[in-house]
Structure 1
Amino acid sequence: MLNQWYDRTIAFLPNLILIAIILVLTLIISRRSQTFVYRLAERTQAPPEITDLLGRLARIGIVAVGTLLVLDRLNLSGAVLSFVAGLGIAGIIIGFALQDIVKQFAAGVLLLMLRPFRVGDDVKIGAFEGRVMQVQLRATVLKTLGGDEVQIPNADVYSTAIVNTSRYELHRRTIALTLPPESDLGRSRAALMQILTSVPGVVANPAPESAATGLVGKTVQLEARFWVDERASNVD
């Protein structure tokens, strides 16, 4: 009996050594794969949320492969495959039940990867306008102009037109004025242009311009159009 146990142990020893090697390599490769993802993310300037998610997925994937290899050496691969198949069926059922959550998660990942806006940007998303406070995997959080917090589901954000007013420095502004009947249109336009060019943030190129847009009774409607550099602007 003891001899049989000894013979089996000696016969299994190569497998045992191979299992130990697989486990060590799995740990090393899983850690290095996560480090590789972090370094790649730094080069591509990927968002921290995506970097962390991809790093964890890479590590989990390597560990899963290593575990399957170990179980195969233990002659348990058949049972594992049956278990994985069962998990696949259960995953499909759970996926149908949680499809809305999965949809929000997928949209959140796409938003973090494509980055149509960043935290701190002023945006208009559908009927909401405000500053981006957070981009979560489920929802995008805005602080509205009135100081309220709005959480917009990421699937809605991804499928809606987004206006990012913080993307570019220059923005065109328009001012409408009503001139009394006795006003001199030429002098009024010249005075308006002089005032605009003296305002910090109003750029000279493209140059400000003004034009009469119509008459209301005896008054003249004057409209001024100019471009503002938001980095140096005091114009609201």
Structure 2
Amino acid sequence: MEKQVHSIWAQFNGLLPVILGYVSQFLLALVVLFIGWKLINTVTRAMGRMMEASHIEPTLRGFLLSVVGLFLKALLFISVASMVGIATTSFVAVLGAAGLAVGMALQGSLANFAGGVLILLFRPFKVGDSITAGGSSGTVTSIEMFRTVLIDTSNEVIYVPNGTLSNNVVVNSSQSERILGSVSLLIDYQDDLDKARSLLLGLTEGDSLILKTPAPSVSFSPKPANIQVTLGFWCAPGNVTPLVGKYSEAAIKILQREGYRLGVTARTAT
């Protein structure tokens, strides 16, 4: 019995350095995990304050902070696992291969996601702006990570992929302080041009929504069977659509009342 006790004690003494080594490694890993976790939270909070001071969009700010935080914490867990003797090489290789496969399968979605990040970062337009892009026009109601939502003049909702917006020409009418509105009509070659100019310019007099500088103007362009007369005026971007509608009707009525022979009418807003 005494020999067995001595044998067990001898085996324990032999294993003791190994156990103490594993315990010390485990405790060190816990300390690194605790300190690293605190440092990551501190870094992400500091980044959040810097982004807020730089007036980065809240949606983009939250997303970037989440990505950075998850990436740093993943690196921390891998480092801690290697400290306690867990082989991480195979795990990293499998994770990388899985990420590559997912990226290949979601190319279109990732392009839209990247476009959303670029839009939120560089802000070529914001919510409330009137834009034209990708064959669609409307007012921006929301900018999401994968798409931008517009509402057009018919109150229809348009969903435009952010990849399309970031890789094509975007016309932002709201960024200009003024925009040119125009109303075009077709009159006969026998009609009085000077009188037409006077009548159309008279329509805009006293309208506070139309800018005085540059002043409204009337131009004439010859067509095969008619003369195109165009009333042009400058106004704020948000007023161009209602003003074009207003003066299209007013121009038709006043010219008809004065005996002008109108051709096919056309309305434009540039």
For residues 101 and 212 of structure 1, what CA distance do their matches in structure 2 show? Answer: 49
1:7-29 Cα distance to aligned partner (Å, 9 max, x none): 44444454344323211222212
Q: Equivalent residue of 1:66, what SS? A: helix
AA aligned opposite 2:231: A
- Matched pairs, number: 233
Bigger CA drift: 22-31 or 222-231?
Answer: 222-231
Q: Is the 8 A contact 2:147 2:159 kept in 1?
A: yes
For residues 181 and 73 of structure 1, what CA distance do their matches in structure 2 show? Answer: 91
C-alpha displacement of 1:168: 1.5
**What residue number does 2:4 align with?**
none
Match of 1:68 among 53, 62, 78: 78
1:138-192 Cα distance to aligned partner (Å, 9 max, x none): 2222222212222222222223322212121200111235678897654653454
Larger Rg: 1 or 2?
Answer: 2
Instruction: State TM-score, norm by structure 1.
Output: 0.82
Query: Measured at CA, do residues 185 and 90 of structure 1 come closer, stay the same or move farther in structure 2, by a change above 3 Å?
Result: closer
- Say if 2:201 is the partner of 1:193: yes
C-alpha displacement of 1:202: 1.3
- Say if 2:42 is the partner of 1:27: no
For residues 131 and 27 of structure 1, what CA distance do their matches in structure 2 show? Answer: 43
Q: Is the 8 A contact 2:26 2:84 kept in 1?
A: no
- Say if 2:236 is the partner of 1:229: yes
C-alpha displacement of 1:51: 0.7
For residues 92 and 231 of structure 1, what CA distance do their matches in structure 2 show? Answer: 46
**What residue number does 2:48 align with?**
38
Equivalent residue runs for 1:70-109 within 5 Å: 70-76=80-86, 79-109=87-117
Which structure 2 residue ranges, 5 or more long, are not aligned?
1-10, 245-270
Query: Measured at CA, do residues 54 and 67 of structure 1 come closer, stay the same or move farther in structure 2, by a change above 3 Å?
Result: same
**What residue number does 1:140 align with?**
148
Percentage of pairs with the same residue: 24
AA aligned opposite 1:33: V
**What residue number does 1:170 align with?**
178
For residues 167 and 14 of structure 2, what CA distance do their matches in structure 1 show? Answer: 68
AA aligned opposite 1:48: P
Query: Measured at CA, do residues 91 and 230 of structure 1 come closer, stay the same or move farther in structure 2, by a change above 3 Å?
Result: closer
Instruction: Give the CA RMSD over aligned residues.
Output: 2.9
Query: Measured at CA, do residues 216 and 73 of structure 1 come closer, stay the same or move farther in structure 2, by a change above 3 Å?
Result: closer
Q: Is the 8 A contact 1:210 1:222 kept in 2?
A: yes
For residues 112 and 191 of structure 2, what CA distance do their matches in structure 1 show? Answer: 58
AA aligned opposite 2:52: E
Q: Is the 8 A contact 1:203 1:228 kept in 2?
A: yes
Instruction: State TM-score, norm by structure 2.
Output: 0.73
For residues 215 and 62 of structure 1, what CA distance do their matches in structure 2 show? Answer: 68
Query: Measured at CA, do residues 178 and 86 of structure 1 come closer, stay the same or move farther in structure 2, by a change above 3 Å?
Result: closer
Higher relative contact order (CA 8 A, sep 6+): 2
- Say if 2:168 is the partner of 1:160: yes
AA aligned opposite 1:41: M
- Say if 2:126 is the partner of 1:112: no
